[in-house]
Chains A and B, each alone.
Chain A
Amino acid sequence: MAVQEEPKVIPVDDFVRDELYPGYTQAFGTQPFVAGPVRPFSKADNASYWLRDSLHFSEGMVPASIALLDDAQTWGAQLGAEIVGVPPTRGSVNRLAGTHVYIGTIDVDTDWQIQARAARFGQYVGPILADFDRYWAMRAGELQSAYHHFDNLDLAAMDSGQLWTAVKDGYAFHRRAWFIHFEVMYVLTANYLAFYQLAEEIGLEGSLVSAFLSGRQTFYSTTDEELWKLAGRARELEVTGPLLHTDPAAVRGQLEALPHGRTWLNEFDGFLRTYGWRTEETCRIDTPSWIEDPSPALYAIASFLAKPAGFDFHAARQDAVAERDAQIEAARRAVNGSDLRRFNEALASNQAANFAWWNEEHNYLIDRRAAIPVRRASLELGARLVDEGKLTAPDDIFFLFKPELFAVMEGDGPGWPALTSMIPDRRAYFEDWRRRGPELPTMLGTIPDAVPDPIMIEVFGLSGHFLETLKGGGAAQELRGFPAAKGVAEGVARVITSVAELHKVQPGEILVCGGTTTEWTPVFGIIKACVCDTGGSLTHAAIVSREYGIPCVVGTAAATKTIKTGDRVRVDGRQGTVQVFGSQAP
């Protein structure tokens, strides 16, 4: 007898709000919208699923960041999905639990719409894939020329009209950058998922596909290489002491006291001028660039210094490439005839339009950089508003919503006193929710049996097993996930919920986290294995673990809830399992 199972709902009720922040009820910051803007949760949201996106936004959003989120995962994704014509989805939509971001999807469910979108998709995507280098060069060129404009603005010398224009231009650019992001992403995921699916159909493991596409140099791998060289220079110039043992805030002073400290700092500043235009998180206007605060770069250099002196960046890279080629060759030997031909063609198509590569490469042009022009101009404006007695601190401006700021700057709305009076409450609200971040459920609303959008499945690892684990409440002695990088390791877990805590990780520990982004890369040089709540074959943690040769399991759904720092765990990156032994060794 079949039993009709009740759908599993993790109620959103605790997070339902009318206000997006104290004193701000206008949820529709941007009108018109493609499909739906960022909003707080409402009761109706219990009907669908909402995934906590700690992969991109681990610490919560200040009011001004919410307009940037709107541009990105909401507007950008929806417009990209419309224009490219992705058949099953109209893109993603966001809800906020307090200040924390959840993502859902808007499914397309009528036959006619799916067919119409499929036809559009066929016409749109083919020509781009066939000539991807030229197409990406065009988009990347557009972004680069915008950065050339914004980075060279002398904001301090501007009059108030020019500065306000710079803020508005910054916002306009941010929105455009995110449309580019999703247009390219949807085009490339189609190519990647086609290869993945083909691999499975001809008897290979789809999970190997991203390994086949690994090893191509990105702006970030070049950054890492430069950091490694700076570590080598620090050894040569005998300035490693402060780099290894000093709080980043004080390191400059300590280095200058050493005979060759100034030389090293000059080289480091030269590095920052090229590689420092990046922040630690996406869409977060309140996070500084490396140029403002180089702590992450200094941390990365210290991680390289902690490695044995013989570590050779190039040899490690060459090994990764050799291993990739070995895997491709092994796959080729396993298939033959017309399957081999299709395999070869799918591989060629993906080497030419390579999602695994772009997935890293685009971060420096979009995710980690697009908000910097708005941030810089906003901070300059904030400083002037402090001088005028309207704000208390320059970064108070981040606690105003974009529509509030635009209204007051253009002589509209309730005026400055009403706005500034709300800022202390909003700061407290942000801090309160920041503390609560690690306790938030991985998923809210109705946990589905399956997610219809293959892109969501791939990027966030929403496999059937992931959803089952969430339905089961997530507590288990053994976690299962996506086998992202092979190898077996056993050791002591370190649970990290935000990139700001990364310095706590000790060499030889096993990193357990929600998900990683580019800023986490240096820690892969010292950890023994990596386990993530979310993610699929293309997530950052999977790609980087393969390059560093450590086991990795992603998409476990419940690792950060099940495992505690100090627990002994065993990670099997080929089986995709994580055994949790608790704080006693087995």
Chain B
Amino acid sequence: MTPAGDVVLDLGDIRVTDTARVGPKIARLGQLASAGWPVPDGYAVTVHALGGWLPRQARSEIEQLASVLNETDFDPVALSHASERVRALIESQPLPSWLEDAVLSAHERLRTRTGRGPRLRVAVRSSAVGEDSAKASFAGQYSTFLGITDAADVLRHIRKCWASGYSAWAVQYRRRAGLPPHAHDLAVGVMELVNARSAGVVFTLDPVTGDRGRMVVEANWGFGESVVSGQVTPDYWAVDRASSQVAERRVGGKHMWTVFDPATATVTLVPLPADLARQPCLDDDEVRYLCRKAAEIEDAEGVPQDVEWAIARNAPFPDSVFILQHRPETTWPAAPAPGAQPSFDPVQFALRNVFKVPRA
């Protein structure tokens, strides 16, 4: 039985209104692409696909998983065993042909659009619908796989992404959030892998102090995973928003980097050569350009953002800059932009609307 909704969408057809189908991460990327921003091309396997397909045996295992959780003092060991069984089932079963066909034809279209044919390397990323509302906790909880070329491997890693929706952590999270045990909220994005020279994050406010007069860039050589996963101390720049001047710069302790290893055909974290480690991985022009682009995204979204980006090898700047994803910065959501007149005065509001003091 095929599901009612679309199971695979090309990035060019995705808008922010598709959040419920593909998750906010991919929906925003589609929105950026439609506005002409440089983002890696790709496609998404929607939440309908997972809802429409699950091995029968996996369904009953999931029911069992749910029943373990419903006990007042559930046994964490039983939970992790139940979770293992569900994941093993999902990873081992082939996709149904309607879904496999849809993915393979989307993959073929992507190979054609990018002009890379069978040499195309992709990232396969989980994308949960509730994701960045709970960023702190979701980060790193669902799987992402980088550097995949073979189409059969793509299919296999899509299953692995889905399986990560049934980790002990994920099922407990859904239970606490009052959601059903099925990971019907998980989509998967398949994106061209940007062959990154340097990559990292821009915060449109200082994430430590919440100061909106400063933007912060953190980056390392190679793919951004070493930065996002916190495995290195990245290079750091603070940029004054008003003047666009670099106000502070620090070369980080970048002893590792994430690179594509042709020998194993995988993306891995390996030691960074000492001469590269000592060099900042961006120049000031690149830092200022990244801040300007992030500020434009913030303007469009209305709230501070963190923006993941990569600068591709073998392309002239600034065409080499790609936006990989962005999301609201929830830790410091509400500091007013510098110079803005606050529109809410808690004291006057309390006097008039809480204590009901009439104006004299």
Rounded to whole angstroms, the CA-CA distance of A115 and B134 in the bound complex is: 44
Contact with B along A314-341 (1 / 0, CB 8 A): 0100110111011011101000001011
Whether the Cβ atoms of A508 and B130 lie closer than 8 Å is no
* 3 nearest A-B pairs in the assembled complex, by CB-CB distance: A310-B76, A322-B137, A348-B334
Given A87-B351, A323-B176, the answer on whether A195 and B346 have CB atoms closer than 8 Å is yes
| Contact for A308 among B73, B342, B346, B355, CB less than 8 A | B73
B72 at the interface (CB under 8 A from A): yes
Whether the Cβ atoms of B353 and A201 lie closer than 8 Å is yes
Whether the Cβ atoms of A193 and B350 lie closer than 8 Å is yes
Count chain B residues whose beta carbon lies closer than 8 angstroms to a beta carbon of A: 44
Contact with A along B70-114 (1 / 0, CB 8 A): 001111110000000000000000000000000000000000000
B347 at the interface (CB under 8 A from A): yes
Q: Chain B interface: which of A118-126, A405-413, A476-484?
A: A118-126
Rounded to whole angstroms, the CA-CA distance of A341 and B303 in the bound complex is: 9
Q: From residue B5, how far is it (CB to closest CB) to chain A in Å? A: 22
| Contact for B136 among A310, A325, A347, CB less than 8 A | A325
Contact with A along B111-143 (1 / 0, CB 8 A): 000000000000000000010111111100000
| Contact for A322 among B77, B136, B333, B356, CB less than 8 A | B136
Contact with A along B337-360 (1 / 0, CB 8 A): 000001111111111011111001
Q: Which residue on B lies nearest to A327, using beta carbons?
A: B133
A residues at B contact (CB < 8 Å): 86-88, 114-115, 118-119, 121-122, 125-126, 129, 190-191, 193-198, 201, 307-311, 315, 318-319, 321-323, 325-326, 328-330, 332, 338, 340-351, 454, 486-487, 507-508, 528, 549
Whether the Cβ atoms of B176 and A319 lie closer than 8 Å is yes
Rounded to whole angstroms, the CA-CA distance of A125 and B76 in the bound complex is: 49
B173 at the interface (CB under 8 A from A): yes
Rounded to whole angstroms, the CA-CA distance of A193 and B336 in the bound complex is: 21
Rounded to whole angstroms, the CA-CA distance of A454 and B356 in the bound complex is: 10
Given A326-B133, A345-B342, A454-B354, the answer on whether A198 and B335 have CB atoms closer than 8 Å is no
Whether the Cβ atoms of A308 and B176 lie closer than 8 Å is no
* Chain B neighbourhood of A351, CB < 8 A: 334
Rounded to whole angstroms, the CA-CA distance of A343 and B303 in the bound complex is: 12
* Chain B neighbourhood of A190, CB < 8 A: 346-347, 350, 354
Q: Which residue on B lies nearest to A507, using beta carbons?
A: B73
* Chain A neighbourhood of B348, CB < 8 A: 122
Whether the Cβ atoms of B351 and A121 lie closer than 8 Å is yes
Q: Which residue on A lies nearest to B304, using beta carbons?
A: A344
| Contact for B336 among A122, A345, A350, CB less than 8 A | A345
Whether the Cβ atoms of A125 and B347 lie closer than 8 Å is yes
Whether the Cβ atoms of A341 and B354 lie closer than 8 Å is no
B316 at the interface (CB under 8 A from A): no
Q: Which residue on A lies nearest to B210, using beta carbons?
A: A348
Whether the Cβ atoms of B354 and A197 lie closer than 8 Å is yes
* Chain A neighbourhood of B36, CB < 8 A: none
* 9 residue pairs bridging A and B, Cβ less than 8 Å apart: A122-B351, A197-B349, A197-B354, A321-B137, A323-B176, A341-B343, A344-B333, A487-B178, A507-B72
Whether the Cβ atoms of B355 and A122 lie closer than 8 Å is no
Rounded to whole angstroms, the CA-CA distance of A193 and B348 in the bound complex is: 12
Rounded to whole angstroms, the CA-CA distance of A310 and B73 in the bound complex is: 11
Rounded to whole angstroms, the CA-CA distance of A319 and B168 in the bound complex is: 13
Rounded to whole angstroms, the CA-CA distance of A221 and B298 in the bound complex is: 35
Rounded to whole angstroms, the CA-CA distance of A342 and B341 in the bound complex is: 11
Rounded to whole angstroms, the CA-CA distance of A118 and B134 in the bound complex is: 40
* Chain A neighbourhood of B173, CB < 8 A: 319, 322
Q: From residue B340, how far is it (CB to closest CB) to chain A in Å? A: 9
